[in-house]
Amino acid sequence: MEAASPEDVAAAIRFAGSHGIEVGVRLTGHGIINHLENVLLVHTGRLDELTVHPDEAWVRVGAGVRWDRVLQEAAVFGLAPLAGSSPDVGIVGYLTGGGIGPVARTYGVAADRIRAIEVVTGDGEFRRVTPTEHPDLFWALRGGKGALGIVTAVEFDLVHLVEIYGGAVYFDGADAEKVLDTWAEWCPSLIEEGTTSIAILRLPDVPFVPWQLAGRMSVAVRFAWIGDPADGQRVFAPMLAAAPPVLAMVGPMPYTELRRIHADPSDPLPVHEHAALLDELNDDVLDALLAAAGPDADDCRQLMVEIRQLGGAVAMAQEHASALCHRDAEYSYLSIGIPAGPDAEATIRNAEDIGRLIEPWTTGGTLPNFAASDDPHDVVRTYDRETLERLADLIETYDPDSVLRAARPIREALLLSVPED
């Protein structure tokens, strides 16, 4: 059903509760939960309010708003939101999963800037949640995705930012080893004004992919620098010199053009993702990655195998604790494939095989925005035991009749996870 007000959301939750079905939520479908049998799906697209408060540098948005609108409307006042790599993603879905975007090492986790969340919890009650009103929910909704309720609006701080130095440089797949080695050596020296990631790409030969990258393997190094562009250029120079670029699109750019850095596709795709966290990028893990996804890996079926450097402000202590775990990891790993057609299963198996190859160097954790939040095994990796127990306790309180679809994997994950001593 289409919700146009918090009352509509509350009515949907109560209806589901009284008919013995569950409630799910969707805006874009970018992070859609599978298995929606007997689920009343609430679409939040009509909750589309947006007010920028320029004097105090914050914004209030309805749950139907995507990042691109805030990027544009905040820029009028020289302000900016901490959006993710794709401005086409929904704000609430992103923020409830923490939110680690292309300038994260400078400004930290987006959810740390939340001032207030309005939510209809699983018991059908509308609540305004702040650090002082329902602080337990304020903790849980930042990292806990939709497990405690359906968010109807959120208020969060903006940063003063108009222009950055950034973009991406693309190399031929044949240079993958050189580029990966240079990036791994360069990352530890990067100060927190810089945020970077690397992606091994196998992009299809379709019209929206630049011809230099279409139908071949390439390696993208993404970069965003907050501060003097001349410094950014100097800092990024070793990466530009790693090998002859096939396409270099790095320079001063308006922050509103953030999407250029990762160049993600705009529309939701039926993807299979495999995510992990790494504490270091040593020669062994790089060799494993190259063997599985490098130029000689003819069986690699992933569109993208990506590593983002974390650290910097991502690991910074928060003013208000949240349910987001594992923010102290050094790198995040993500593979994306499209399991379609007769070879669909092979694409999934290939992602799992690469995941197993790099497993010795992973932390065992993952981040909520990159994990399958409907798979209890992934949920176990997303939260430490203490967080999982606390989330499950809050679910008992705020969703006593088990109405929220998103709460179910947390309950199941608790049974799978091993209690700590």
Ligand X SMILES: Cc1cc2nc3c(=O)[nH]c(=O)nc-3n(C[C@H](O)[C@H](O)[C@H](O)COP(=O)(O)OP(=O)(O)OC[C@H]3O[C@@H](n4cnc5c(N)ncnc54)[C@H](O)[C@@H]3O)c2cc1C
Q: Does position 44 bind ligand X by CB under 6 A?
A: yes
Residue 278 token pair: 């790494």
Contact residue for ligand X among 29, 78, 210, 251 (CB under 6 A)? 29
Q: Within 51-80, which residues bind ligand X (CB under 6 A)? A: 63
Contact residue for ligand X among 6, 10, 13, 30 (CB under 6 A)? 30
Nearer to ligand X, 109 or 242 (CB): 109
Contact residue for ligand X among 87, 97, 108, 166 (CB under 6 A)? 97
Question: At its nearest, how many Å lie between ligand X and the CB of residue 367?
Answer: 7
Nearer to ligand X, 153 or 293 (CB): 153
Q: Does position 382 bind ligand X by CB under 6 A?
A: no
Q: Does position 167 bind ligand X by CB under 6 A?
A: no
Residue 39 token pair: 């689920």
Cα radius of gyration (the chain): 21
Question: At its nearest, how many Å lie between ligand X and the CB of residue 418?
Answer: 25
CA 303, CA 268: separation in Å to the nearest integer?
A: 14
Nearer to ligand X, 13 or 187 (CB): 13
Total number of residues binding ligand X (CB under 6 A)? Answer: 33
Binding mask 359-378 for ligand X (x = CB under 6 A): ----------x---x-----
Number of H helices, E strands in the chain: 13, 16
Question: At its nearest, how many Å lie between ligand X and the CB of residue 265?
Answer: 6
Question: At its nearest, how many Å lie between ligand X and the CB of residue 102?
Answer: 7
SS3 319: coil
What length is written for the chain? 421
Q: Does position 117 bind ligand X by CB under 6 A?
A: no
Q: Does position 33 bind ligand X by CB under 6 A?
A: yes
Exposure string of 114-151, with b = 16+ CB inside 10 Å and e = fewer, is: bebbbbbbbbbebbebbeeebeebbbbbbbbbbbbbbb
Sheet harboring 58-62: ordered strands across?
A: 50-53, 58-62, 149-157, 114-121, 126-129
Which residue's entry shows tokens 């590593």? Answer: 307
Stretch in the footprint of ligand X (CB under 6 A) among 145-153, 197-205, 248-256, 293-301: 145-153
Question: At its nearest, how many Å lie between ligand X and the CB of residue 25?
Answer: 4
Burial class (CB in 10 A: 0-12, 13-18, 19+), 348: middle
Element (H, E) at 215: none
Q: Does position 84 bind ligand X by CB under 6 A?
A: yes
Q: Does position 89 bind ligand X by CB under 6 A?
A: yes
Nearer to ligand X, 243 or 388 (CB): 388
Residue 113 per-residue DSSP state: G
Residue 90 per-residue DSSP state: B
Q: Does position 103 bind ligand X by CB under 6 A?
A: no
Rounded to 5°, angle at Cα 78 from 77 and 80: 105
Contact residue for ligand X among 4, 32, 36, 357 (CB under 6 A)? 32
Contact residue for ligand X among 86, 309, 332, 350 (CB under 6 A)? 86
Inter-CA distances, 116 with 47, 132, 295, 360, Å: 16, 10, 47, 40
C-beta separation of 65 from 155 below 8 A: no
Nearer to ligand X, 140 or 187 (CB): 140
Name the residue number minimizing CB distance to ligand X: 93
Phi and psi torsions of 92, nearest 5° = -70, -45
Contacts to ligand X by CB under 6 A: 25-33, 44, 63, 84-86, 89-90, 92-94, 96-101, 145-146, 150-151, 264, 369, 373, 406
